Chains A and B, each alone.
Chain A
Amino acid sequence: MDNKIRNLFPILQNKINNKPLIYLDNAATTQKPRSVVEAIEHFYFHDNANVHRGIYKLSERATNAYEKSRRNIAEFINAKHTHEIIFVRNTTEAINLVAQSYGYKNFKPDDEIIISTMEHHSNIVPWQLIGKKTGAKLQVINIHENGELDFNHYEKLLNNRTKIVAITHASNTLGTINPIKKIIAAAHAHNVPVLVDGAQASPHIQIDVQNLDCDFYAFSAHKMYGPTGVGILYGKEALLNSMPPYQGGGDMIKKVTFAQTEYADLPQKFEAGTQNIADIVGFDATIDFIKSVGIDAIAEHEKELLKYATDAFSDIKGLKIIGTAPEKTSIISFILDKIHPHDITTILDTEGIAVRAGHHCTMPLMDFYNIPGTTRASFGLYNTKDEIDILIEALTKVRKIFSY
């Protein structure tokens, strides 16, 4: 990666507190390249109309752009059918859709839903909500101290009461990449479907849903250099067909009378109401952007940054990295002496450095490590070793302010 890549991201030219912006909160959301923003602008300036409704030319153009995005995404994650791609708002909504639709139909009292200790709240709370309605209970896979999943414990949890496994592909707090293919195979041996929360993996790993054989895969455009407000739920055709609609409204019907409604086929069955059309078109441009750089090249660059930062961090006295699994995305969570993450973040901010502080929406994981929160630096394709050097220097300054 070089300056050519950085120049594609106008926001990186900004100054924060009179210092060049060093954006290290990519696990929360990524910055957007010019081509994505321009695609959205172009849509609004030239092609904007509602989709699947108008008989006129402009609506046809909008519909074509919308469906082209779906095809591009389906191809990008190697879905067997384009209609297995459902547009939602974000990963959270994708998981809620499956919990409310699949869960409501299939869960009974004392059924079990397997999740893991490292889940984001968005892969915990939706299952608790449907658990309250249906009587199904959460079973939580342990993790090891280094942040790796305890696979033996997982295998022990699988049984004939298990109705779904919902697990993250990569942890937003620890960076741990889970052995997702193995996890899925083990579940399938018990005829249990698996939902993968791919929000943190999709920006870093080439997703192949057929190769993984996952039943559902949820991810968000905004974490992979795309616009906010677009999430994807991939689901296997047969499963999606067996599920009742999540929301009712326009565009998801074939025929409505006051007595009953006949639902639309996939994917419209799950896309009630006017969708976030312009940003979905923007996601199409995002996929093209990622393909042009190459996800393997992105992964390689981030791996290098992760190694560089991990080595440099180990030289900082009083710093402890939380999450040291052998397979990680480019995330480093850490604690520094007894300095609170919010104080660290405020001081880094004055140096133009944006990092995340707190529990990262993984409170049960913080309980596991018995800490209130961490500071998290997460790297993306436009970050550089020079930026990491400035981060290291700033952390030294933090220690000095607190007299360590």
Chain B
Amino acid sequence: MDDLRDLYQQIIIDHSQHPHNFCSLDSASHKKEGFNPLCGDKITLYVNEKNGLITDICFQGLGCAISTASASLMTDTLKNKTAEEALEIFTEFQKLLTTGKTDHPEKLGKLSVLAGVIEFPMRIKCATLPWHTLKAALTKEQNIISTE
């Protein structure tokens, strides 16, 4: 039961029901779609990158509480970070979700509320979908990003 409470913390419920940065950016320098064919979760990510700095980032889409909260927290975290920092945070975030540990809690900040996902392996993809989409946007991968 505690696992469930860890997964659905109030902050995650709040972000899923009232996501931050939930909008489109007409002027986005990067726009990318992510898709999880297993559950139908879809995300469109918009990023404005200037001289390596993420000046604006937002998303739209339909997803579960975990993927929506993850996208909301991600966009909060990455504003005014460099693209390089963003990818470092992703690496750290993945480490947290797969090992439950982090050596750099300061890098993760609020993102660490998603650590409870580790007890629900089927849901890790929900939490990482926005991040895989981000990575693809920043590295200019051509295809729609799929978790499968």
Contact = CB atoms under 8 A, between A and B. Distances in A.
B121 to A, nearest CB: 11
A318 to B, nearest CB: 14
Nearest to A338: B17
A402 B18 CA distance: 12
Interface string A343-371: 10011001000000111000100100000
A342 B4 contact: no
Interface string B1-34: 1011001100001000100000000000000000
Contact of A346 (B17, B38, B41, B120): B120
A55 interface: no
B8 A401 contact: yes
Interface string B122-143: 1100100000000000000000
B118 interface: no
B108 interface: no
A347 B42 CA distance: 22
B113 interface: no
Q: Is the interface of A mostly helix, strand, loop or mixed?
A: mixed
A185 B46 CA distance: 54
B59 to A, nearest CB: 16
Interface string A386-403: 000000000000000111
A303 interface: no
B40 A372 contact: yes
Best-surrounded residue of A342, A350, A359, A373 (most CB of chain B within 10 A)? A342
A340 interface: yes
A343 B40 contact: no
Contacts of B42: 372
B65 interface: yes
Contact of B66 (A343, A350, A372): A343
B7 A403 contact: no
A343 B4 contact: no
B87 interface: no
Interface of B: 1, 3-4, 7-8, 13, 17, 38-42, 62-66, 120, 122-123, 126
Interface of A: 338-343, 346-347, 350, 357-359, 363, 366, 372-373, 401-403
5 closest Cβ contacts across the A-B interface? A340-B64, A342-B64, A372-B40, A343-B65, A350-B4
